[in-house]
A and B are shown apart, each in its own frame.
Chain A
Amino acid sequence: MWAPTMLLALSLNPPGASAANVEASLISERPSVAPGVPFHVGIRMRIRRGWHIYWRNPGDSGLPPRITWTLPKGFAAGPIEWPIPGRSEENNLVTYGYDRDVILSVRITPPATIHATSITIAGKLDWLECAEICLPGSARLWRSLPVSPGPGVRTPEAAVIAAARARLPAGPEGWAFSAEAGPRAIALDFVPPKGIAPREAYFFVDKPLVTEHATPQGLERTKRGYRVTLARAANAAGNLARLSGVLVIEDAGHARSRIGVNVDVPVSRGNPAYRAPTKPSNRNRQGERS
């Protein structure tokens, strides 16, 4: 009994690796690969309680996870699709990341023809895991999949990846955004789709040297919608041409629902005032993610 069980376990569980506090593995939406049909894989990171990893812009310190793929000839991997991050503050330093289990999904595009009966998707994942202290983590992840023209059966992993992708920040369709920046502050104006009433908002800037992450962001109502104000980074480089990142709002209509929207807008020159929030925001903290 022992040996077959072991073998089964080995063949079902793709190799993953664990540093001290994060366990990483690679899961696939499909049990097989069809030529020319894109699909998603997920880098699953299980994070020990009290530890965290980072978003694509880590904030004041830290490093985002990085993956270097080794793919069969003709295969292409898209960028990491980053889930909505959380915000963590300690000693006036603010970082962005994840403190719960997370799936980083990536779209894989196979070539139109595959001359093999099975292929292997492999990658080297590097990350930084931090609690009070930080440790570098690294894992070689791989997944072998048979080549088969049909769509294949849906696996339990497919549901995990689909659920993670359903929670990704949405495209800006239905939202209106504009931005204005001056020497002291950046203002992001937005009009949400009908039926969404922001109670709290936080803009996760995805580029360095744009804002001071530790300075609280203001949220106010405007004639047409809402305005989030961000303090300009002390060492901001010249004029800001574009503002990009993820706007996360808490909808007043839906308790505890967090909505994330991708933002990438041109910035006009102005001199908006920095408006401190009327009360310190406790939302968007790590640990509040459902």
Chain B
Amino acid sequence: MNRIATLACLLLLTPALDAHAAAIVGKPAPALEARDADGKTVRLDAYKGKYVVLEWVNRQCPFVRKHYGSGNMQSLQKKYTEKGVVWLSVCSSAPGKQGYVQGPEAKEWMAEEKAAPTDFLLDPKGKVGKAYGAKTTPHIFVIDPKGKVVYNGAIDDKPSTDREDIETARNYLSAALDASMAGKKVEVAATQPYGCSVKY
């Protein structure tokens, strides 16, 4: 009887929980384990004690190209990794879908773009993306040294594919990292991400 009840509960709860799987601001970040472009296994808990940025990427998406074509993403990557922040670019495009890459291609693209993340993670089954509730490319998550989510959302406040908008945009990622690293409260901790849908 109990087992049936438990099973019924699980069956009832599972879809709702799935749909709700997300990185919630103020809560511990979902576990993360994925292969990087070199085939090495990367785990989030290995970076405890450091700030971690997760950036969802699809190199063919016009919103991603806005931030790479302008050099904006690369300069953010350089600026913050120099301050000891761990920056993980994550690609959740499924095989055959737009933006899908395997290791060597990912490395080639990073070299071409002079991208400077700490690592590039391959998530072709969308396991990491779905655990975090990654919806768009780009979609940004910031995790503090205790492993708590301090930001979930858009890279900035100008949802467009126009490179010209970058200069006048308010960058939420920088604002969240700067505030959190200075021991201050993150003013805008959750926003609606903008971009192409993640190609699960």
Spell out A's residues near B (CB within 8 Å).
Answer: 60-63, 90-93, 95, 126, 128, 130, 132-136, 208-209, 212, 214-215, 231, 234-235, 237, 274, 276
Whether the Cβ atoms of A90 and B16 lie closer than 8 Å is no
Q: Is the interface of A mostly helix, strand, loop or mixed?
A: loop
> How far is A91 from B94 in the complex, measured between Cα atoms in Å?
11
Nearest A-chain residue to B99, judged by Cβ: A133
Of the candidate stretches B40-48, B113-121, B172-180, B189-197, the one touching chain A is: B189-197
> How far is A276 from B126 in the complex, measured between Cα atoms in Å?
25
25 CB-based A-B contacts, threshold 8 Å: A60-B135, A61-B193, A61-B196, A61-B197, A63-B159, A63-B160, A63-B161, A91-B126, A91-B197, A92-B19, A126-B162, A128-B62, A133-B196, A134-B62, A134-B63, A136-B161, A209-B192, A214-B19, A231-B19, A231-B20, A234-B133, A235-B25, A235-B153, A276-B15, A276-B16
Total contacts A to B, CB within 8 angstroms? Answer: 82
Q: Is the interface of B mostly helix, strand, loop or mixed?
A: loop
Chain A residues lying within 8 Å of B193, measured Cβ to Cβ, are 61
Known interface pairs A60-B135, A61-B135; A235-B200 also in contact (CB < 8 Å): no
Chain B residues lying within 8 Å of A276, measured Cβ to Cβ, are 12, 15-16
Residues 140 to 168 of chain B near chain A (Cβ within 8 Å): 152-153, 159-162
Residue B59 lies at the interface, judged by CB distance under 8 Å to chain A:
no
> How far is A257 from B104 in the complex, measured between Cα atoms in Å?
53
Known interface pairs A60-B136, A132-B98; A215-B20 also in contact (CB < 8 Å): yes
Whether the Cβ atoms of A235 and B195 lie closer than 8 Å is no
Whether the Cβ atoms of A130 and B196 lie closer than 8 Å is yes
Shortest distance from the beta carbon of A8 to any chain B beta carbon, whole Å = 37
Whether the Cβ atoms of A215 and B25 lie closer than 8 Å is no
Whether the Cβ atoms of A132 and B198 lie closer than 8 Å is no
Contact pattern, B 1-33, Cβ under 8 Å of A = 1, otherwise 0: 000000000001001101110101100000000
